[in-house]
Structure 1
Amino acid sequence: MNSIRLALAAGAALAVAGAAQAQDFQPKQAGTIMLNVRVTDVAPDAGDPITTLAGAPTGLKADVGDSIMPTIGLSYFVTDNVAVEIIAGTTKHTVRAQGAGVDVKVKETWVLPPTLSVQYHFAPSAKVSPYVGAGVNYMLFYADKDHNGFGLDIDNGFGLALQAGADVAIQGPWSANVDVKKIFFETDAKDPYNGVKSKVNLDPWVVSAGVGYKF
């Protein structure tokens, strides 16, 4: 599923680039500021068991749904090859409790997951310029709404992020971008009213495609 998302995102980015004429383009270089506006699919990889507060199994597992939203990334090139990027956006997710014959909506919550990464760009002067990166992420849950008698609390916290992507120059300062991140984030979710809890490994794939502009 994730490879399909990546293929679709890469195809969209390359199609945008291919539609433009191959004219002069602005390379990446030290001092460049680059703004990427993307459409992003955040796909959590949750499926952890739900237990009682004492740790006894309930036969249920936690499921967290995908969300597709616009995001922005702002990069500053410290050198021609090294950049620092801050990514911002917010997504809405549905938390469900699932088991044999059971599928219950527990909570809807918004997540603000800013991510700061350091990137290495392999070919900053080339029309197709791939990069990799690593950094830190913070998950902030807000504006949540409980359902079906649940009162779930989800802890905020830090995670680690790995990143890979490519910029495809179009013309002048414009480029197309495809970007994939894997975020490693574990949180505690607890419902003291119903006496259940779960240690949830969200570990979302964050797959994006969009357009960039260099300043």
Structure 2
Amino acid sequence: MHKFKLCASLFALALAAPLVHAHTAGDFIVRAGAITVNPEADSSSVKVDQGPLKGADLGGKATMSSDTQLGLNFAYMITNNLGIELLAASPFEHDVKLKGTALGAANGKLGTLKHLPPTLSLVYYPLDAKSAFQPYIGGGINYTWIYDEHVSSEAAANGFSNFKADNSWGLAWQIGADYMLTDNVMINAQVRYIDIDTTATVENNAVAPGTRAKVDVDVDPFIYMVGLGYKF
């Protein structure tokens, strides 16, 4: 009997949900929540590109840690089914590690870096505006600004310095869904894939004066966000 009452309650909620109006042309939507960047880093081997050892291939790979921050979305509905959206967030910080290089002192935590990933997307909502459940897909362009790079204390003790990483432009894709709790308040979940490519360099004058090594990294993270939204 209790299970029957629960099923009946859920069925009643499902019937009532479409009465809540979702997104229509001219709406402005703000979403906020926890956002995690999980790099799927695939890198080249580490190579010496400056100094007396130029051309040496040290082998190995670079990896990056994940991080969770405050995520923000700002969206404007151009039509009932099409919107434009900007992704923003508080700065992410990642550990960068090297492993398997021929230069044993280079293995381990090389350093840390911070980045901001503003992403502008065109988003399509396939369902009718009266539906409380609003799945969507989108695609757009990302600019990843990398800054505040610095070597770890362990790497500095082994002579490493001047750690740098290039900024990146790339395509971004997303799927997500809003569920309207009221005419204005919603819960949201989304998953993104962003093409982020960077080249990182680091110097080591302890090995030989003027020595610099570089590694090309396809960061290509999956990004997950869960939060609340408000429609104006």
> What does residue 149 of structure 2 align with?
144
Contact 1:25 1:173 in 2 (8 A): no
Residue in 1 that maps onto 2:32: 37
In structure 2, the residue corresponding to 1:45 is in which secondary structure? coil
Query: Structure 1 residue 200: deviation in Å?
Result: 0.7
Aligned-pair distance for 1:57?
A: 2.7
Partner of 1:208: 225
User: Which residue pairs with 2:132 in the alignment?
Assistant: 127
Moved more, 49-58 or 203-212: 49-58
| Whole-Å separation in 2 of the counterparts to 1:118 and 1:172 | 23
- CA shift at 1:196, angstroms? 1.2
Q: Is the 8 A contact 2:19 2:132 kept in 1?
A: no
Shift of 1:45: 1.1
Question: Which residue is equivalent to 1:46?
Answer: 41
Q: Aligned equivalents of 2:170 and 2:197: distance in 1?
A: 7
The residue aligned with 1:27 is: 22
Aligned partner of 1:175 in structure 2 is 186
CA drift of 1:22 comes to 5.1
Is the Cα contact below 8 Å between 2:116 and 2:145 reproduced in 1? Answer: yes
Residues 24 and 172, structure 1, Cα contact 8 Å, conserved in 2: no
Aligned partner of 2:67 in structure 1 is 67
In structure 1, the partner of 2:171 is: 160
Give the superposition deviation at 1:192. Answer: 3.7
**In 1, distance between residues paired with 2:144 and 2:56?**
28
Cα deviation code 1:2-23 (max 9, x no counterpart):
xxxxxxxxxxxxxxxx9xx959
Alignment of 1:32-111 (within 5 A): 32-48=27-43, 49-53=45-49, 54-89=54-89, 90-99=91-100, 103-111=107-115
| Unaligned runs of at least 5 residues, structure 1 | 1-17
**Amino acid corresponding to residue 34 of structure 1 in structure 2:** I
Q: Contact 1:35 / 1:73 at 8 angstroms: preserved in 2?
A: yes
**Separation of aligned partners in 2, 1:127 and 1:117:** 22
Which 5+ residue runs of structure 2 have no aligned equivalent? 1-12, 205-210
Deviations 1:42-70 (A, max 9, x none): 01111312222245431321011100111
Whether the aligned pair in 2 keeps the contact of 1:22 and 1:171 (CA below 8 Å) is: no
* 24-33 vs 68-77, which moves further: 24-33
RMSD: 2.0
Q: Of the two, which has the highest radius of gyration?
A: 2
Alpha-carbon displacement from aligned partner over 1:72-111 (angstroms, at most 9, x marks no partner): 0000000001100001112111111112788411111110
Aligned counterparts of 2:56 and 2:181: Cα–Cα separation in 1: 57
TM-aligned CA distance change 1:55 to 1:214, over 3 Å: farther
Cα distance, 1:73–1:45 mapped onto 2, change above 3 Å: same
Report if the CA contact (8 A) 2:22-2:134 is conserved.
no
Q: In the alignment, is residue 114 of structure 1 matched against residue 118 of structure 2? A: yes
Identity fraction in percent: 30
Distance, in Å, in 1 between the alignment partners of 2:46 and 2:140 is 30
Task: Report the TM-score, using the length of structure 2 for normalisation.
Answer: 0.78
